[in-house]
Amino acid sequence: MAFTLDGDDVCQPISPTPIPDPYWVGFSSSAAQLIGIELSDDGYPRDPQWLEVLAGNSLEVSNHQFTNPIATVYSGHQFGVWAGQLGDGRAILLGEIAGQELQLKGAGMTRYSRMGDGRAVLRSSIREFLCSEAMHALGIPSTRALSIVGSPLPVRRETMETAAVCSRLAPSFIRIGHFEHFASSQQYVRLKELADLLIRNHYPECLNAEQPYLDLYSKICERNAILVAQWQSVGFCHGVLNSDNISALGLTMAYGPFGFLDHFQIDHVCNHSDQAGRYAYHRQPQIMHSNMACLASAFLPLIESSCDEAKAQTILRDALEHFPRVYAKTWQTLFRSKLGFEVSHENDIGLIERLIQAMHDSRVDFTSFFRQLGSVRQEQKPAELLLRDQFIDRPLIDCWFGDYLERLKLESSDDIKRKSKMNAINPKYILRNHLAQTAIENAQNGDYAEVSRLLRILSKPYDEQAEYEDYSIAPPDSLQKIAVSCSS
């Protein structure tokens, strides 16, 4: 359901700023199905007016008119520091269609643009488009990306680039920052309206709870604890886990500087602007927990409506501490499955942690290793495994494989069934930075075929796709450190 709060203190009614000479760069037929867009044989909308709408040049298409486009205000903590009022500085919510909110990123300036120009560039739009759809295909909750529309309109970043508009879909784009904004500005009526909106449209089970707002808070925490465990399980680094970039629905959102791990480094930082490593891979659970603490502070006025301040703080503190328990349980379950374990054993966590440390020490490719692990047979000996060649310390990894092979004997599945189950959780294809960079460079030269090809490959990340084997291989050392910044 669309964001239905209105008023000058909540949002700015604003139409997108048109771009000249729009053209298709990428389109997701999968996302299009969510809102019932009819497609031509080429995979693009049958109605050409969709190009104008998704470029921000029109508000009407196929008997549907977006009558109230808005940009919303929110606040938040950025890199651990209170940043005050923020808001949709270049994202405009067109409205609701078929139960999804449709938002254009890069659609022009709003009153929340601050010093920005309200535009997005082709480079960052391609990355967001591909990663949004890749995450969905991996089974990880995410906002969806419907399209990229390009334009020759020049946009200055570090260098002169061209503009693009990325259209996004989600049941709601409500962020933790929306709650923080109304709580920090003591707009408690608005805060309650926002919570009620979220319960009514997205968490209806909370209506019957003894304390609906506490139940809502707990469920938001739970969804985001599960989400960050899923990120860890596929080696995904968000890059800018500010509180204003966290979804109240537990969706991956705000794809800026992000990256999937290639050669595993537990303290990998994907955003070169994050010089302190605040959002490094191994710190993501801690940072998400911190963001849930920010949300707890914002929820305090809601809980205080039914009890005194001291009790409200205690209740929220207890609810917050459920986060690490949910995260740990989910993480353990996911990594057990990645190793092919269907039942739990007391030594499993130690076995997982030993492997992760060994992978870090040897910079083993995260995705390829877990995918290949499914081919290990119980009757093999450690010295016979080609996987051991990826590790520097052979005696250490031989010891680990010995323990792993013994552990597999406790499983009921045979090697064939186990491999099938492991391949269903260990992807073969992820959006590696060097692959995205190739698609970007081709697109900047007017060739958009690689964007479509990558989208097709990433839509089936667990399939073998023999014709695209090269896309599953780790990049050479020369392409390992492609830098990604907040500039987009």
Active-site residues: which are they? 244
Q: How far apart are CA 4 and CA 98, in angstroms?
A: 15
Tokens for 219? 């469920």
How far, rounded to the nearest angstrom, does the alpha carbon of residue 216 sit from its chain's CA centroid? 21
| Cβ atoms of residues 26 and 126 within 8 Å | yes
Q: How many other CB atoms sit within 10 Å of the CB of residue 358?
A: 19
Q: How far apart are the first and last CA of the chain?
A: 28
- CA–CA separation, 229 vs 204, rounded Å? 25
The span from the CA of 326 to the CA of 408, in Å, is 26
Q: Where are the beta strands (DSSP E) in 171-213?
A: none
* Cα(115)–Cα(109) distance, integer angstroms: 10
186 Ramachandran zone, left/alpha/beta (phi>0; psi -120 to 50): left
β strands within 355-444, DSSP E: none
Is residue 213 exposed (0-12), middle (13-18) or buried (19+ Cβ within 10 Å)?
A: buried
Helix (H) or strand (E) holding 169: strand 160-170
- 10 Å Cβ neighbour count for 201? 16
Say if CB 90 and CB 56 are below 8 A apart: no
Longest Cα pair distance anywhere in the chain, in angstroms? 69
- How many other CB atoms are there within 10 angstroms of residue 321's CB atom? 11
